[in-house]
Amino acid sequence: MCLRTTEPARISVELKRALEFYHGTVEDLIRELIRVLGVNETDRRALEIVLLEDKKATTPGILAERLGLTAAGVTIMLNRLEKQGYIARSLHPTDRRRVIVMATELAAHRIQELVVPMIVESYKMLLSSYDSAELDIIADFLTRAGELQRIHRERLRDVDPYSKP
């Protein structure tokens, strides 16, 4: 009977430790990626969004919403990324009032060179370590955890910043 009450607690502690370790290593990896690319965190995230939504028309408005930036903030950020050769802006092909943001070949090449080998290595490790049922559970967990992160982010966007002491 004691096993039933302590097992969930033990698993909870292990899960907390694993998530803290994972989040820390992701932050460390992103910090190094930022260093190598020569961008800041917001610029990196914008570049990631643009690259991931390559087939869709990413607009400054989409980036503002996803990053929690003002229109002016997005313009400044896009100017930086354009100056570095990572993005290009053009008019929407059917709505000339809208601007589309696209990743350049330079950005795609650098991400391909830096990130794709890490992704391939990760998939190889996961596929060799877990069976398909376990991978389904892992994918479900990560999807749910991501949804929670999105919910938490939206809640934080409604909180006023702390005043400076």
Q: Decide if 50 contacts 87 (C-beta within 8 A).
A: yes
In this prediction, what percent of the chain has a pLDDT beyond 90?
79
pLDDT of residue 17: 95
38 dihedral zone (left: phi>0; alpha: psi -120 to 50; beta): left
pLDDT digits (tens, 9 = 90+) for 1-58: 455 568 888 899 999 999 999 999 999 999 999 999 999 999 999 999 999 886 677 9
pLDDT digits (tens, 9 = 90+) for 61-96: 999 999 999 999 999 999 999 999 999 999 988 888
Tokens 């479900």 label which residue?
140
pLDDT tops 90 at residue 162: yes
pLDDT of residue 4: 58
Average pLDDT of the chain to the nearest whole number: 92
pLDDT of residue 8: 86
pLDDT of residue 3: 53
Of the candidates 54, 34, 26, the residue with the CA atom closest to the CA atom of residue 114:
34
pLDDT of residue 43: 97
Of the candidates 9, 32, 33, 29, the residue with the CA atom closest to the CA atom of residue 21:
29
pLDDT of residue 95: 82
